[in-house]
Chains A and B, each alone.
Chain A
Amino acid sequence: GQQLNQSPQSMFIQEGEDVSMNCTSSSIFNTWLWYKQDPGEGPVLLIALYKAGELTSNGRLTAQFGITRKDSFLNISASIPSDVGIYFCAGNGLIPGGTSYGKLTFGQGTILTVHP
């Protein structure tokens, strides 16, 4: 099946630092999504990307859909303690009617720890 490789697996940073994480895939996706999960809760959508090359911001968060459709990154600027959590990328298949269309696949997650 499709594989999403997300890196880094974990990050330990000081409050105020910027953070960058990325996802790569062996398959082409037509949608890239970024989620944050707090312990014991469901993931919450942060940013959705639909177009190759698209760069989208949501407050201190910025994400880009790679031009090859096989990668995406998420940046968090000026981190704060409440940014702590697990960040997931997710991708959805390209071809309507194809075997991977509508199959939302997730990366392994990046665990972010922010020290005050």
Chain B
Amino acid sequence: DGGITQSPKYLFRKEGQNVTLSCEQNLNHDAMYWYRQDPGQGLRLIYYSQIVNDFQKGDIAEGYSVSREKKESFPLTVTSAQKNPTAFYLCASSISAAVEAFFGQGTRLTVV
């Protein structure tokens, strides 16, 4: 099946630990995105990538890092520098920049 896969669905980490969230797509999409969603809030853009080996900071990039070494993969690392990492993280992809994006099912990260 074609689609965007985020894993795991639920993730628990201790405070101070880095954690990497996985996002894989087999849609042959060039652009990929990471968003953060807090309860009752909209989606805020963390990082986005229009093409492999290139990415840009979104509105709330501090405390996060990404890589785009392969077209199908765009992992997000939540570092210990992120002050409030507990949130719902959503990955999306689109065939190219500035067209419709499709979302994965999300990863709910809880830091204790």
Contacts and interface: CB of A to CB of B under 8 A. Distances in A.
The reply to whether chain A is a binding partner of chain B is yes
Interface size class of B (residues with CB under 8 A): 20 to 34
A77 B23 CA distance: 35
A25 B77 CA distance: 31
B53 interface: no
Interface of A: 1, 6, 30-31, 33, 35, 40-45, 48, 50, 88, 90, 92-93, 96, 101-109
Interface of B: 6, 31, 33, 35, 41-45, 48, 50, 56, 58-59, 88, 90, 92, 94, 97-106, 108
12 contacts: A42-B103, A43-B103, A45-B100, A90-B101, A101-B97, A102-B31, A102-B48, A102-B97, A103-B48, A103-B56, A107-B42, A108-B41
